[in-house]
């Protein structure tokens, strides 16, 4: 009898403990049920926002990872998402030329736009002889997230924005940021070790997405197929690339999954170079669902190709 009572008492107590754990105290109930609505322009920002915000944010990415980030045209559902959002995270630097009209049309004065590339050390596109620069703005090449050191800077902007909108979870956001920075550092170290021993580091780029990745991991971009998004390169430009690849014995041509494979294939066919398909957007290829998966995938594919083909 005593034993039964004892057990019952304990199970009621533990039931209370479980309930207390699930139910937040009064006042924070609405907050806990309503995560901050956040809209981001491209999938890499969705991953970073979710890493920091966890359960306290609900993130919608306008691009899914299969579209061209420069020539994207917003859908009606994007406008709805932006109207509902409290924060909009963008890369900036002229990447999302289509975003300012979207924000203007949404007409929501309380929406805060966070430009995550602020403070990143810019790399300028070469205005080379074959058709000028890739992007409208002269702010520099906008593919800053392809260097993990820049992602650390972007992460700080995102954490700061979440803390300002929701100061009640400051400690959680800061802890998540610290945990992710550790992972980021670990992956960077691993990839730097992998790329250290490469003897040939040269490749032809599809579009100018890779200067930050190349700088961090010491790859060398020796030519670019498509300097301007949505514009076909000239026959003269292609011919000079083919000659360069043959003359300098370049082994690797990068093709991007978001762009047509036709020109990289033409280049590979006319030379002895091999194609490596990469993605600058998480989710573009199988096994690239997160930023860290994508970074690892791109660097390892490139390193493997440079090593095995040489
Ligand atoms: Zn691009």
Report how far ligand 1's centroid is from the alpha carbon of 76 (Å). 23
Residue 297 falls within a domain, yes or no?
yes
Mean pLDDT, residues 119-135 taken together: 65
Residue 56 falls within a domain, yes or no?
yes
Report how far ligand 1's centroid is from the alpha carbon of 226 (Å). 10
pLDDT, tens only, 63-102: 998 888 888 999 999 999 999 999 999 999 989 989 998 9
State the residue range of the domain holding 260. 196-309
Report how far ligand 1's centroid is from the alpha carbon of 309 (Å). 27
In this predicted structure, which of 8-17, 105-114, 133-142, 258-267 has the lowest mean pLDDT?
Answer: 8-17
Report how far ligand 1's centroid is from the alpha carbon of 227 (Å). 10
- Residues 139, 122 contacting (CB under 8 angstroms): yes
Q: Report d(CA 266, CA 111) in Å as an integer.
A: 46
Residue 50 tokens read as 């979710």
Q: Is residue 50 located within the same domain as residue 159? A: yes
Domain boundary among 152, 168, 188: 188
Residue 13 has pLDDT above 90, yes or no: no
Domain count, the chain: 2
Report how far ligand 1's centroid is from the alpha carbon of 209 (Å). 5
- pLDDT for the residue numbered 86: 96
Q: Is residue 166 located within the same domain as residue 135? A: yes
Residue 61 falls within a domain, yes or no?
yes
Of 10-24, 137-151, 257-271, highest mean pLDDT: 257-271
Residue 140 tokens read as 């520099």
Mean pLDDT, residues 242-251 taken together: 97
Q: Is residue 184 located within the same domain as residue 262? A: no
Report how far ligand 1's centroid is from the alpha carbon of 143 (Å). 6
Number of CB atoms found within 10 A of residue 226's CB: 21
Report how far ligand 1's centroid is from the alpha carbon of 71 (Å). 9
End-to-end CA separation in angstroms for the chain: 80
Q: Is residue 161 located within the same domain as residue 211? A: no
Question: What CATH number is given to the structural domain containing 300?
Answer: 3.40.50.1980
Residue 282 falls within a domain, yes or no?
yes
Q: Is residue 141 located within the same domain as residue 235? A: no
Residue 4 falls within a domain, yes or no?
no
Report how far ligand 1's centroid is from the alpha carbon of 230 (Å). 11
pLDDT, tens only, 288-302: 999 999 999 999 999
Residue 142 falls within a domain, yes or no?
yes
Q: Is residue 164 located within the same domain as residue 210? A: no
Closest C-alpha among 248, 257, 204 to residue 226: 204
Report how far ligand 1's centroid is from the alpha carbon of 73 (Å). 15
Report how far ligand 1's centroid is from the alpha carbon of 10 (Å). 61
Q: Is residue 49 located within the same domain as residue 184? A: yes
Report how far ligand 1's centroid is from the alpha carbon of 208 (Å). 6
Report how far ligand 1's centroid is from the alpha carbon of 116 (Å). 16
pLDDT, tens only, 175-211: 999 999 999 999 999 999 999 999 999 999 999 999 9
Closest C-alpha among 102, 106, 69 to residue 259: 69
- pLDDT for the residue numbered 67: 85
Domain boundary among 138, 154, 188: 188
Phi and psi (nearest 5°) for 36? Answer: -65, 125
Domain boundary among 140, 170, 188: 188
pLDDT, tens only, 24-40: 444 444 445 699 999 99
Residue 18 falls within a domain, yes or no?
no
Q: Is residue 140 located within the same domain as residue 239? A: no
DSSP characters over 212-245:
HHHHHHT-EEEEES-SSTTSPPPHHHHHHHHHHH
Q: Is residue 282 located within the same domain as residue 205? A: yes
Residue 52 falls within a domain, yes or no?
yes
Mean pLDDT, residues 267-276 taken together: 95
Residue 74 tokens read as 């917003």
Q: Is residue 158 located within the same domain as residue 50? A: yes
Q: Is residue 161 located within the same domain as residue 235? A: no
Q: Is residue 123 located within the same domain as residue 173? A: yes
Close Cβ partners of 45 (under 8 Å, ≥ 6 residues apart): 61, 89, 90, 91, 116, 154, 158
Tell me the pTM.
0.85
């Amino acid at each position: 009898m005593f034993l039964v009572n004892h057990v019952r008492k304990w199970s009621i107590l533990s039931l209370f403990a479980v309930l207390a754990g699930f139910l937040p105290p009064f006042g924070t109930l609405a907050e806990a049920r309503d995560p901050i609505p956040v809209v981001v322009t491209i999938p890499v920002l969705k991953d970073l926002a979710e890493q920091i915000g966890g359960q306290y944010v609900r993130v919608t990415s306008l691009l899914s990872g299969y579209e061209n980030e420069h020539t994207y045209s917003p859908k009606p559902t994007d406008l709805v998402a932006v109207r509902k959002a409290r924060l909009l995270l963008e890369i900036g630097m002229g990447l999302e030329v289509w975003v300012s009209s979207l924000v203007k049309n949404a007409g929501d004065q309380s929406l805060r736009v966070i430009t995550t590339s602020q403070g990143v050390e810019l790399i300028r596109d070469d205005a080379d002889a074959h058709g000028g620069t890739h992007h409208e703005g002269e702010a520099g090449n906008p593919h800053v997230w392809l260097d993990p050191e820049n992602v650390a800077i972007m992460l700080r902007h995102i954490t700061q924005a979440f803390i300002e909108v929701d100061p009640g979870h400051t400690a959680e956001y800061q802890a998540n940021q610290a945990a992710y920075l550790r992972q980021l550092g670990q992956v960077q170290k691993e990839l730097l070790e992998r790329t250290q021993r490469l003897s040939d580091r040269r490749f032809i780029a599809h579009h100018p997405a890779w200067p930050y990745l190349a700088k961090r991991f010491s790859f060398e971009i020796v030519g670019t197929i498509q300097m301007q998004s949505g514009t076909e390169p000239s026959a003269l430009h292609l011919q000079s690339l083919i000659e360069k690849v043959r003359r300098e014995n370049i082994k690797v041509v990068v093709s991007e999954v978001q762009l047509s494979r036709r020109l990289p294939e033409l280049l590979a066919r006319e030379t002895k170079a091999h194609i490596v398909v990469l993605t600058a957007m998480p989710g573009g290829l199988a096994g690239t669902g997160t930023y860290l998966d994508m970074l690892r995938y791109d660097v390892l594919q490139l390193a493997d190709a440079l090593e095995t083909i040489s």
